[in-house]
Structure formats: structure tokens, C-alpha cells
Amino acid sequence: MNQIFCFKRYAWLLKRQWFENAVNYKRGIALIVIIIGMVYVWVMHWNVSKHPLDRMPIVFGVVMIFLSLYTFVFFDSLNVKSKGMFYFSLPVSPLERVATAFVFTMVLFPVFLFAVFNIFDFLFVLLYNYIHGTSEQMIIKLPLLFTMQNILGWMSICSISLLCSLIYGKNGHNVGSFLFVFIFIFSLNVLKIKLFAMLDFFAFLLPIVWITMYFFMKKRET
């Protein structure tokens, strides 16, 4: 039997992750849609004196908050001793566990989040233009957001949050917040990294974080 990676076991683990958390996921999806709608009501604000594109950083910030919160609580169920013991006794490999976490946190949730944002973006800009008689374009500019630097940067930040959730449980958000502040201050003052180059530094940590996650999973199985 392949002890490293098996697609059949991996597919089973993906399904298990969804069905076991389906209620929370459905509630979260509904809440996210409501909050994003409220954000756009505030962002557009029917104020023609300020260009809507000036508010794109606000939208980007909300996206990062959602991504970080989700990764901080992804492994929360493992804080319950019985659930943690059962999870690590499942007949799957550490690589399959890590790959499942990657798909849900780095692929499925971000894709869903950006899809919802773009739907609201399209509808609200149409409404804004109708009310003010303007011809503004969509607020979210995908070529600006989906640069390789941005993608690797947010993946690294969310991966650190995920690792903190796995190792420190409910205290993961406290440890992660402290770690982000430390890296931020250390990078600016010691490494002399410019603010806009910070994402490159976080991207450097990406493989380190996922390798650490794999070996932590492997250790918990023993």
C-alpha cells in the first residue's frame, strides 16, 4: 500500500472535510455574502466626489481579513482531545492531510471569496453608474491583485495562520498575530526591507511553513 500519497484516500479526505463541516461552511458562506454586501454599500457610499477605485485597498484588506480568519480556525476542531485523536488516527498519510488543508484554504476558499467579491463589484458599479450617470469601471482590478508577488504573499500569510492554528489551537490567533507583528518590525528595522517588498519576504517563508506542517502532522501520528 502506498503510504505517501493515494488519490483515493485523498478524495475521501476531501469529502470528509466538507461533510463534517458542512453546517459551519454553509453558515459561513451566508455570513460572508451579507458582510461583503454591507462592505460594498459602504465602499460605494453613493459619493461621486471620491473615485470608487480609491477604495480598492479597503476591499483588498477585507479579503485578507476573511482569509486570515478562516485559516486561523481551520484546525479548531482538533482542540477537542477526542476529535484530535480520531483525526490523527485516520488511515491517511500526513501528505494527504496537508494537501487537503492546502486545497480548502489556499484554493477553494480564496476562489469562492473573490468570486463573491466580483459579483458584488459588478452589480454595485452598475448601480453606482446608474444613480450618478457615470461610467466607472469595476473597483477590483484583477491584474493588479493577481500578481505573482501578491499571490505568494497572501498564500504565505494565510499559511502561517494555518500553521499557528494547527500547532497552538485556540491560541493560534494570538501567536499568529504576535508573529506577524514581529516579522513586520524585524523586516523593516533589522533586514531593512521596504514596506512594498514585504510580500516577497513572506513568500520566502511559504515552503518552510508547509514543510513544517507536514512534519508536525507526521509527529502527531506517532
Task: List Cβ neighbours of 91 (8 Å cut-off, separation of 6 or more).
Answer: 9
Please tell me the distance from the alpha carbon of residue 189 to that of residue 54, in angstroms, as a whole number: 29
Q: What predicted TM-score, i.e. pTM, was given to this entire model? A: 0.80
Mean pLDDT to the nearest integer, 132-149:
67
At 193 the pLDDT is 60
Res. 29: pLDDT tops 50:
yes
Going by pLDDT thresholds of 50, 70 and 90, the confidence category of residue 68 is confident
Residue 143 is predicted with a pLDDT of 57
Residue ranges covered by each domain of the chain:
7-221
- Is residue 59 within 8 Å of 117, Cβ to Cβ? yes
pLDDT in tens, 71-115: 888 888 777 777 778 888 888 888 999 999 999 999 998 888 888
How much is the pLDDT for 48? 45
Mean pLDDT of 146-167: 82
Residue 47 clears pLDDT 80, i.e. is over it = no
pLDDT at residue number 102: 93
More confident residue, 168 or 55: 168
